[in-house]
Amino acid sequence: QNKSEQYLLYLKGSYLHTKGNHHFQKPRKRAKCLSRSFNTYRRLLMYKPAVYAYEGLLRLLFDAGKHDIIAGLIKKKKQEFEQAFKENLDVKMIFAQTALHQGHDEKAEDIFNDLRQENPDNSQIAYYTAVAYIKNNELEKALEFLDSCIENPQLKSKHFLFNFLQSKIYAQLEHYDKALEAIEASLKLLPKFDRGWLFKAVLTEQMGRVNDAVKGYKHYLNLVGRDDSVEKQLIQLLFSQERFHEAASHLKRLKSNTPEYYFDLALIQMRAGNKTRALENVNKALKKQPNFTKAKLLKTEIFLAMGDQMKALDFMENWLLQNPKNIHVIHTMLLLKNANVSLHDIIKSLERVANKKPSTPLLATLGDQYLEIDDYKRGISYYRKLLNHTKNEELKSKVLFQIAFIQYNNKEDFTEVEQTLKQAVSFKNAYSSAYNLLAYIYAEQDKNLEEALTLIDKALQERPNSYYYLDTKGLVLLKLGRTEESIKLLEQAHKLAPFDNVIKEHLDEAKNSE
């Protein structure tokens, strides 16, 4: 009764395995059949059956890719398996391929060599023997073995496969001409060999023969119908060759509904000169993903290409309004100057956003831009707004230095400049240039020289090799009558910046005062 139960379970497990492997089976039903088959074999093993009962389980595990479990069974029942399956080619192939999957390349090679001695005309064994040589990095041995397989008329039906393997080895060895010769021999034997066409396309692309690569990818797609990754590679190649209409045609075949798809299509159409269609598709991308940065940048570019600079600026303004702290958007808006958008219009756009949603980057940018057009009064007004907006003391110190520097260059009242700088250096992490400027002004005014020396030493603690800090200290020491020390520092500064005429004047003055 036990034996009949075991036979029944074995047959049931085999039946469910076969049913699950049927090509008409849907994936979910296939998985269910294989799972039931596995559970059936587990019940069978509870009876501790003869070792031959493991054959069906081994086939099931191999088809399911459970190489770890197979390896465990082989280790546990090595002697029994060797005895029971010594004449079973299929099971020995499972053992060999499991060794390959487990990374035991030398062991796999030994098994395949034994099998090849016993079955010299078996094409499957010949193929996996070559694979074992390749995985074991015995490439010259693999090439020699493949030559012998190609010379064997009994293996003629698989010669195309051996040529294919040779091509892959030659490519690995960077012998690209030989690799191309081998893959062409393979395709001559089997013109509809899809993997061969794909490899030829990759190989010719690697060789820089882009037109041949495009032909290869197209031929492969004609054979297999759809392959999104290959289609995308083909699109990229066509794009690089500025064959935009062909690229757009292949992209449409993907028929995706993702923001990335619409963005790629818009980009290709833009490069092809079809700005209206490009705008339609970039809008679709943004509708699906409103914060798609690359799509927003492309939309701006499309507006500019259409000659509608103000639409581009308005779009950027709305984008900035959504995220007024985004420094990259601000920088992009400023770059619109290169597309004939006036700086005046850009500044007004930035001001509209700042009035609604002030941010540190926005206020700083507006201050900088007003300085660029020499409107110092407005520039300072935005720096003062920034002072009130931020709580960052380090930033406050930098902003106050900038205000003082403007006041100094505009030769405003010394007392006001001094007060601004004193406020700048009052913070814990004061900006070193504020120490330097205050010390320099004291030296120019020939007052508070000891305090000036303390200030410039604080600046040099931050940047000991700053040539203009060294120049300031040299000037302070000169005013203090410490001429020798002054000359030494000024010479150091002049060596660092021989182009600076102010340092040269100070050095000459120090030398003349000796």
Q: Check residue 347 and give its pLDDT.
A: 95
Distances (CA, A) of 34 to 25, 56, 160, 508: 11, 12, 34, 93
Task: Phi first, then psi: give them for residue 440, nearest 5 degrees.
Answer: -65, -40
Q: Check residue 383 and give its pLDDT.
A: 94
Q: What is the Cα–Cα distance from 198 to 36, expressed in whole angstroms?
A: 38
Q: Check residue 23 and give its pLDDT.
A: 58
Q: Check residue 324 and give its pLDDT.
A: 93
Q: Check residue 430 and give its pLDDT.
A: 94
pLDDT values of the chain reduced to their tens digit, one per residue, 514 residues: 678 888 898 898 888 888 877 656 677 787 887 888 888 888 888 888 888 888 888 888 887 888 888 888 878 888 888 788 877 777 777 877 787 677 776 776 777 777 777 777 778 878 877 887 787 788 888 898 899 889 888 888 889 988 999 999 999 899 999 999 999 999 999 999 988 998 998 899 888 888 888 888 888 888 877 666 777 777 777 777 777 777 777 666 666 678 888 888 888 888 778 899 889 989 999 999 999 999 999 999 999 999 999 999 999 999 999 999 999 999 999 999 998 899 999 999 999 999 999 999 999 999 999 998 999 999 999 999 999 999 999 999 999 999 999 999 888 788 999 999 999 999 988 999 999 999 999 999 999 999 999 999 999 999 999 998 999 999 999 999 999 999 999 999 999 999 999 999 999 999 988 6
Contacts of 355-361 with C-beta under 8 Å, sequence gap 24+, read 356/321, 357/321, 357/324, 358/324, 358/385, 358/389, 359/324, 359/325, 359/389, 360/325, 360/386, 360/389, 360/390, 360/392, 360/395, 361/324, 361/325, 361/326, 361/327, 361/330
Q: Check residue 484 and give its pLDDT.
A: 92
Q: What is the Cα–Cα distance from 248 to 384, expressed in whole angstroms?
A: 52
Q: What is the Cα–Cα distance from 4 to 6, expressed in whole angstroms?
A: 5
Residue with structure tokens 């290409």?
305
Q: Reduced to 3 states, what is the DSSP secondary structure of residue 136?
A: coil
Instruction: Report CA 512 to chain centroid distance, whole Å.
Output: 61
pTM across the whole model: 0.55
Q: Check residue 25 and give its pLDDT.
A: 63
Q: Check residue 210 and give its pLDDT.
A: 84
Distances (CA, A) of 66 to 94, 406, 497: 11, 74, 70
Residue with structure tokens 């197209």?
218
Distances (CA, A) of 243 to 235, 236, 240, 269, 314: 9, 10, 8, 11, 32
How many Cα atoms within 13 Å fall on the side-chain side of residue 174? 0
Residues 6 or more apart whose CB falls under 8 angstroms from that of 34 comprise 16, 17, 20, 60, 63, 64
Q: Check residue 379 and give its pLDDT.
A: 93
